Chains A and B, each alone.
Chain A
Amino acid sequence: MNTELLGVIAMFVITVVLAIPFGKYIAKVYAGDKTLLDPVLGPLDKLLFKLTGVDEKREMTWKEHMFALLTINMVWYLLCTFVLMNQSWLPLNPDGNPNQTADLAFNTSISFVVNCNLQHYSGESGVSYLSQLFLMFLQFVSAGTGLAAAAIIFTALKNRTAEQLGNFWNLLVKSCTRILLPLSIVVATILAFNGTPMTFDGKDTVINMQGDSVQVSTGPVAAFTAIKHLGTNGGGFFGTNSAHPLENPNYLTNMVEMFSQLIVPFAMVFAFGYFLRRRKFGWMIFGVMTIGFLLLVIPTMIWEINGNPAIGKLGVDISSGAMEGKEVRFGSAASAFWSIATTVISTGSVNSMHDSAMPLSGMMQLLAMMTNAFYGGCGAGILNFFVFIVLAVFISGLMVGRTPELFGKKIEAREMKIAMIVALLHPLMILAGTALASAFPEITSANLNNPGFHGFSEMLYEYTSSAANNGSGFEGLGDNNLWWNITTGIVLIFSRFIPIIGPVAIAGLLAKKKFIPESAGTLPTDSATFGLMTLGVIVIIAALSFFPALTLGPIAEYFSF
């Protein structure tokens, strides 16, 4: 078999195999059980809580959890805006990069706080090393926020009848120190030994072989790149993210970076099963997500490997695939695989330019973010999928004429209303945003890098990426201006916090309800039938809401070839 395909298969299989024990470990962390890393990390957590005087044992209701979450996110946002707007005179700015403008700082801060990392600047010129370090801090804690929110759901569904769902500060700190930090150090070490820089020196000047003088951007890249993937943040140190030869120097680092963005989302699904002591339920979710992922990734790989027929017509050899916007060291197969992995998960890091992908590959990347339910980002994947489970339980309950219930708790009108609001918010943000941008061509059309249908796709992609908190882009779009900074910033806020508050509220409401023991009349939620039902709900919601928009963009472009 061809080595490019083998590389892709290896990346996927190795991650699944390691995600199973890691999921068990995560379940133990959230349950407060003993783990292998306790001797090292136990004292660290204790020290953090002792220094800050935070009581990590005080039990919270779901509302108290959400207040704590929103407060600390606000603090991060304000601090980040301050750093970005004052970076020119703050320390660690060897290249003398200027302050960010207010609208760009708004967009950048929001985008890193919500784990999206839409970047309307280029890392080489738009931020100082201090800002990079602060953004790296946000990559830890924003991922920790998502994981903590998912852990609240774990707790809520496990307790038989309870109001108290653990302590938010405890879940947040443990998500960062127990799950993200140890792996980050390992991954950063592998990257540093493979040529990714880890230095605080500024740009280096070299004379190239043809005699011209060029500057080379470097920085503390290894530490940044590790957490950017493990936290499914995706914000690149350099402008071209993991396509940059210093951020992703060879095929091994490409495999490691792919592994590190998949591992936590995979493991969280298994952790869900272990935590609830319903391992089959975990596998059901993983199965549905994997089917969805494969349906997106396999066609994309085929289209990218086959190459661009328009260039084929010019008479050159296109056997290496659609190489515009791709790097030779990764090849078209691994680049296509990455483009779907990074969009189903909310990473948004890229190792190829999505703007130059084949029209239908672009559609798959869009669909991956539109469905927003396969694997998903750190914690966010569980939150999004949970909404679809609630919908599927309700619909299938009605279909067979039983009271819809999940794990012994009745799902009633209130929970359904919340679930519907969350599920419909996503298409609303994407479609309303794109419609608005299309309605003002005098403002937006000058920002497009390509004419016709593809230009429309660039706008659709930007809002989809914002609403999915993904952060990748059709990067041809000139997005550092008032319109894009502000509109996408607003989409980012809504699309982050409502999909966190909604599912946690549902879980909190369910937790309070009386427990009804399972009986012969209970609809099993860990069966393949229920899995297919959930997949059906996801497909119907995504296809019905987005098909018209896709027709105007990638599908029209495909037929115009």
Chain B
Amino acid sequence: MKTNLMPAIRLTLATLVLFCVVYPGIVWAIAQLAPNSGKGEVIISGDKKYYANIGQVFTEDKYFNSRPSAVDYNSAGSGGSNKGPSNPEYLAVVQARIDTFLVHNPGVAKEDIPVEMVTASASGLDPHISEQAALIQAERIAQVRGISKTAITDLIGKNTEGALLGIFGPSSRVNVLKLNLALDALK
């Protein structure tokens, strides 16, 4: 024990400097060259600043709605619902979300609602919805805003992101924040 204690303490202090100061220092210095100096990707719109990767709550009819969130998109924290798949209370919540969605989007058939629009994400901050989830909201947006539906669907098409390099990962999703910013810019 005694033969090891002093070397252990000294080695701990030296490696502390290496891994707590030097290593993050190097990464921090490299990150200064990254977009927005490593402070996360932001979008500046007018005098407002948004984090591109942090989803926002969109519940108003004039905006494309985002996914349900267990933390109401409060990005001071993060969290999923952690509800088990067979939990009856949880299934009742999902049913209520479906009903609410149909009330706000009367023309939409139930079987066209993609499951991600009625289930909460893992982080509670998911910035994306699928392209299909945006398309079924086009009719409502067009009516509320008085813009033609084709203009809306064109806008969705323009804001749809594909798979990585076209071959890896989910093939069509939209960043709800970017889409809504583009929507506000339309008119």
Interface positions of A (Cβ within 8 A of B): 2-4, 6-7, 10, 44, 48, 51-54, 67-68, 71-72, 74-76, 79, 122, 124-125, 133-134, 136-137, 140-141, 169, 172-173, 176-177, 181, 184-185, 188-189, 192-193, 195-201, 203-204, 206-210, 212, 214-218, 220, 222-223, 226, 238-240, 243-246, 249-252, 254-255, 307-308, 310-311, 314-331, 334-335, 350-353, 355-359, 449-452, 454, 457, 474-476, 557, 560-561
Contact = CB atoms under 8 A, between A and B. Distances in A.
Nearest to B183: A209
A325 B121 contact: yes
A169 B85 contact: no
A192 B170 contact: no
B12 A246 contact: no
Contacts of A210: 56-60, 63
B86 A325 contact: no
Contacts of A319: 114-115
- Nearest first, the 9 closest Cβ-Cβ pairs linking A and B are A476-B82, A243-B122, A454-B84, A7-B168, A198-B31, A251-B169, A353-B80, A52-B10, A328-B128
A215 B76 contact: yes
A330 B170 contact: yes
Contacts of B7: 52-54, 68, 169
A328 B121 contact: yes
A358 B83 CA distance: 11
A334 B15 contact: no
B75 A216 contact: yes
B155 interface: no
B39 A214 contact: no
Interface of B: 1, 4-5, 7-16, 18-20, 23-24, 26-28, 30-31, 34-35, 37-41, 48-60, 63, 67, 73-91, 94-95, 98, 110-130, 132, 163-164, 166-171, 173, 177, 180-181, 184
Contacts of B83: 324-325, 355-356, 449-450, 476
B35 A193 contact: yes
B8 to A, nearest CB: 4
A317 to B, nearest CB: 5
A324 B97 CA distance: 13
Nearest to A176: B15
Nearest to B83: A356
A245 B127 contact: yes
Contacts of A326: 116, 121-122
A216 B55 CA distance: 11
A283 to B, nearest CB: 28
A443 B115 CA distance: 36
A318 B112 CA distance: 9
25 contacts: A7-B167, A52-B7, A52-B14, A54-B11, A75-B9, A122-B78, A140-B23, A176-B15, A189-B30, A192-B30, A197-B38, A198-B28, A203-B76, A217-B77, A239-B78, A314-B98, A320-B130, A324-B80, A326-B122, A329-B128, A331-B169, A356-B80, A356-B85, A450-B82, A451-B89
A249 B53 contact: yes
B76 A214 contact: yes
Nearest to B164: A251
B105 to A, nearest CB: 13
A327 B126 contact: yes
Contacts of B119: 311, 323-325
A466 B17 CA distance: 30
Contacts of B56: 208-210, 214
Given A307-B115, A317-B113, A324 B78 contact: no
A448 B122 CA distance: 18
Given A4-B169, A209-B181, A173 B82 contact: no
Contact of A245 (B15, B55, B87, B180): B55
A475 to B, nearest CB: 5
Contact of A134 (B20, B110, B180): B20
Contact of B76 (A124, A314, A331): A124
A143 to B, nearest CB: 11
Given A450-B84, A454-B86, 18 more contacts: A51-B14, A74-B8, A136-B19, A192-B30, A192-B34, A195-B35, A196-B40, A212-B57, A239-B77, A240-B80, A314-B98, A316-B98, A319-B114, A327-B123, A351-B122, A353-B80, A454-B87, A560-B86
Given A184-B23, A192-B34, A214-B75, A3 B116 contact: no
Contact of A223 (B23, B90, B173): B23
B79 to A, nearest CB: 6
Nearest to A188: B27
Given A218-B40, A328-B173, A322 B168 contact: no
Contacts of A331: 169-170
A124 B181 CA distance: 28
Nearest to A252: B164
B10 A54 contact: yes
A215 B72 CA distance: 12
Given A244-B123, A329-B173, A474-B82, A133 B20 contact: yes
Contacts of B39: 197, 199, 201, 218
Nearest to A218: B40
B152 to A, nearest CB: 17
Nearest to A316: B113
A246 B163 CA distance: 19
Contact of B111 (A240, A315, A452): A315
A204 B58 CA distance: 20
Interface centre among A192, A196, A322 (most CB of B within 10 A): A192
Contacts of A209: 48, 50, 56, 58, 63, 177, 180-181, 184
B122 to A, nearest CB: 4
Nearest to B181: A209
B3 to A, nearest CB: 8
Contacts of A169: 7, 11
